[in-house]
């Protein structure tokens, strides 16, 4: 186990390094305005721009510029070119909103994804399965921005059932926190619920024809127990993989949803930074997102060893 | 071998099992009747697709589905099972009729410990604590010859070898001391040396506990090891039935001759080429008219276009029955191929 963790940690470092180099190179290749010019402001004199260039090291070779930026990210000194904000501070401020959105949405989609997938599989071919299939396909097909716009139009602007966006801290007012998040949660969860229920349904239908399911029936187990203990349990293993990847990716910022509902999370910050091609926050947010993707990949591997005893993490073989 | 007489424990009559497919109704089992007496080993022999496994699985309702059509009667000590509710069937499965399946690699759930899967079977029927269940599982593993059962009970299926897994499967089947054990090709997926061990185990169980056993196999060698009576199935029907001696020494149906002829024997000179039955089993969707074995049978004659009933055709009558129009004299003559029983190669 220890060796596994060590190996994964080294792997995570390498991936994060590669991601940061790539993003850095991309932003130095695509045309954008001179960062010194932006830092100096609108009516800057050429002398000011020149001194900023020198002070920030924009005239140095790329590798040393890269090192300077990485140093700043990890020491918390990173300043954005646009508005000279403290990037790390902005990200930390955005975390509660982003995490509230992702964790809430994930709870909803896992619950309904598994419920609908299970019901669909158990009643495969029946009217319930057919209706759930139609719903799932609709959920997968509706673009998130469109669905969000529909919700906002009918449930906010026309009827005023829900607030029109923004984020309220959980610690300030739990009720307001929830009412501000319900629409983003549901919008985000609908897509994943549809997707997960379809995947679970097909996994379960495959599992139902397994020999061990026949054995379970031959033992005299009730149909419900056969379904839950043998069919569902084994079909959840691939769902865990999917969840790890999707959830990790979302924690790095649910850009569209955060921007539409102006949640002021990490994703929305990333969206703004992208619009102004502001390299420092883009670098920091990309690394932030990549970190969670890599982290959840490792967690999925650990969960796998628990869920499927045939997989033992390298050294622990009996 | 002790073929005990008495009332039948399990009696199947007129069993028909069909499956709806896109191409039509596949009649996998077409009018099968037999009885299993207490303490008896009944072998059902046939090729893949002959309906032997479907017959066995249908006795405990494992073939029930939206697409299956099941008719006939299955009685366990007088209790009708063919239309039994799920609850009633659940009490029979495992508790009174237990099953051992062909492939021990896939028949255990890979994510649970062997012991837990045995305990699950016990606790489905008995009010027993987990600890008691585990103790019972250890005893059971011990009784089927698994070494170090205290430790093995906590092992996962992938940590067992094929033979050990099949022993564990048998232990699980015995957990509730069933009246009937159905072994569906229990040795097919195993090495030859392990096959012999598993067969010996099944035979010992039958002798020591008087456990009535239905042994499903395509291997007549396995049948010779332990069966009291034999049913030979072809294309969903029984084509011949009789005692072990009757089937091996006085087989009446050409298909049985073919099965016996294709056994390799070490006490005879090696044949030029291993004998086999020519052709392939017919599609159940497009059975030939009359005798289903007709297209593969070198002895076919005009009457074969008419379907023969399963009946006693020998002058002495008795329980030895078959579905072949040839006279007993013709059969005695035609089944002799190079000095032993066999089926001639088709012309």
Question: pLDDT digits over B147-189, tens only?
Answer: 999 999 999 999 999 899 999 999 999 999 999 999 999 988 8
Which of residues A56 and B95 earns the better pLDDT score?
Answer: B95
The pairing of strands B180-184 and B212-217 is parallel
**pLDDT value of residue B272:** 66
Binned at pLDDT 50, 70 and 90, residue B347 comes out as low
pTM: 0.84
Pairwise CB contact (< 8 Å): B109 & A218: no
pLDDT tens figures, B73-127 = 999 998 999 999 999 999 999 999 999 998 888 999 999 999 999 999 999 999 9
Alpha carbons B286 and A72: distance in angstroms, whole number: 78
Q: What is the mean pLDDT of chain B?
A: 90
Q: Is B161 on the interface with A (CB under 8 A)?
A: no
The pLDDT-based confidence of B2 (bands split at 50, 70, 90) is: very low
Which of these ranges, A77-81, B157-161, B271-275, has the smallest mean pLDDT?
A: B271-275
Q: Which of A151, A142, A139, A147 is nearest to A180 (CA)?
A: A151
The first and second tokens of residue A58, run together, are 């924009």
Whether residues A233 and B86 touch (CB distance < 8 A) is answered with no
By 3-state DSSP, what share of chain A in percent is helix, strand and coil, each rounded to 5? 75, 0, 20
In this complex, the residue of B86, B95, B169 whose CB is nearest that of residue A223 is: B86
ipTM for the predicted complex: 0.88
Distance between CA A12 and CA A220 in Å, rounded? 47
pLDDT in tens, A278-293: 888 988 999 899 999 8
* Shortest CA gap B22–chain A (Å): 15
Note whether B111 contacts A308, CB cutoff 8 Å: yes
Select the more confidently predicted residue: A177 or B340: A177
Chain A: give the shortest CA distance to residue B126, in Å.
Answer: 11
Answer whether residue A316 shows pLDDT above 70. Answer: no
Cβ contact A225–B124 (<8 Å): yes
Instruction: Please give the structure tokens belonging to residue A107.
Output: 């709870």
Which tens digits make up the pLDDT trace of A232-246?
Answer: 999 999 999 899 989
How close A131 gets to chain B, by Cα (Å)?
Answer: 20
Residue B289 DSSP code: S
pLDDT in tens, B231-249: 999 999 999 999 999 999 9
| C-alpha closest to that of A101 among A292, A288, A259, A265 | A265
């Amino acid at each position: 186990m220890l060796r596994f963790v060590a190996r994964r940690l080294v792997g995570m470092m390498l991936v994060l390094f590669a991601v940061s180099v790539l993003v850095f190179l991309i932003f130095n290749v695509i045309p954008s305005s001179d960062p010194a010019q932006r830092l100096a402001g609108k009516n800057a004199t050429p002398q000011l721009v020149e001194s900023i260039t020198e002070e920030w090291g924009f005239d140095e070779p790329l590798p040393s510029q890269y090192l300077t930026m990485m140093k700043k990210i990890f020491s918390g000194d990173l300043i954005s070119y646009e508005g000279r904000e403290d990037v790390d501070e902005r990200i930390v401020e955005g975390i509660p909103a982003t995490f509230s959105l992702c964790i809430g949405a994930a709870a909803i989609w896992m619950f309904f994804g598994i419920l609908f997938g299970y019901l669909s599989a158990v009643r495969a071919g029946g009217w319930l399965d057919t209706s759930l299939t139609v719903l799932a396909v609709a959920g997968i097909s509706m673009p998130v921005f469109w669905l969000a716009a529909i919700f906002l139009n009918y449930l906010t602007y026309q009827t005023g059932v829900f607030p029109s966006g923004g984020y309220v801290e959980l610690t300030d007012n739990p009720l307001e926190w929830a009412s501000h998040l319900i629409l983003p949660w549901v919008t985000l969860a609908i897509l994943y619920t549809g997707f997960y229920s379809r995947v679970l349904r097909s996994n379960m239908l495959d599992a139902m024809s397994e020999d061990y399911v026949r054995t379970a029936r031959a033992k005299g187990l009730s149909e419900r127990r056969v379904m839950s203990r043998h069919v569902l349990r084994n079909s959840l293993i691939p769902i865990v993989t999917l969840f790890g990847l999707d959830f990790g990716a979302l924690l790095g910022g649910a850009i569209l949803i955060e921007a539409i509902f102006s949640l002021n999370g990490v994703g929305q910050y990333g969206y703004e930074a992208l619009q102004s091609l502001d390299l420092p926050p883009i670098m920091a947010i990309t690394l932030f997102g990549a970190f969670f993707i890599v982290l959840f990949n490792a967690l999925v591997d650990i969960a796998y060893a628990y869920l499927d005893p045939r997989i033992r993490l390298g050294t622990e073989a009996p | 071998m002790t073929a005990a007489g008495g009332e039948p424990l399990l009696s199947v009559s007129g069993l028909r099992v069909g499956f709806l497919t896109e191409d039509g109704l596949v009649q996998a089992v077409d009018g099968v009747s037999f009885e299993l007496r207490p303490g008896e080993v009944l072998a059902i022999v046939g090729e893949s697709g002959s309906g032997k496994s479907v017959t066995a699985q249908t006795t405990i309702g494992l073939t029930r589905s939206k697409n299956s059509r099941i008719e006939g009667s299955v009685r366990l000590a007088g209790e009708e099972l063919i239309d039994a509710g799920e609850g009633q069937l659940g009490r029979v499965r495992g508790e009174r009729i237990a099953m051992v399946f062909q492939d021990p690699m896939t028949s255990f759930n890979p994510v649970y410990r062997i012991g837990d899967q045995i305990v699950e079977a016990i606790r489905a029927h008995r009010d027993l604590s987990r600890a008691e269940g585990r103790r019972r599982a250890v005893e059971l593993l011990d009784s089927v010859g698994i070494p170090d059962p205290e430790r093995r009970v906590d092992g996962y299926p992938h940590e067992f070898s094929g033979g050990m897994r099949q022993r564990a499967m048998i232990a699980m089947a015995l957990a509730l001391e069933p009246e009937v054990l159905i072994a569906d090709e229990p040795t097919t997926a195993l090495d030859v040396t392990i096959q012999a061990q598993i067969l010996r185990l099944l035979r010992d169980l039958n002798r020591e506990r008087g456990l009535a056993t239905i042994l499903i196999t395509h291997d007549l060698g396995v049948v010779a090891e332990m069966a009291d009576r034999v049913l030979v199935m072809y294309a969903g029907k029984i084509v011949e039935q009789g005692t072990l001696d009757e089937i091996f020494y006085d087989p009446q149906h050409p298909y049985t001759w073919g099965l016996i002829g294709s056994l390799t024997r070490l006490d005879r000179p090696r044949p030029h080429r291993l004998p086999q039955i020519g052709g392939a089993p017919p599609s159940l969707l497009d059975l030939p008219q009359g005798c289903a074995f007709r297209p593969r049978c070198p002895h076919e004659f005009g009457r074969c276009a008419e379907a023969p009933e399963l009946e006693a055709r020998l002058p002495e009558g008795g329980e030895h029955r078959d579905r072949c129009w040839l006279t007993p004299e013709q059969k005695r003559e035609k089944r002799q191929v190079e000095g032993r029983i066999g089926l001639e190669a088709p012309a």
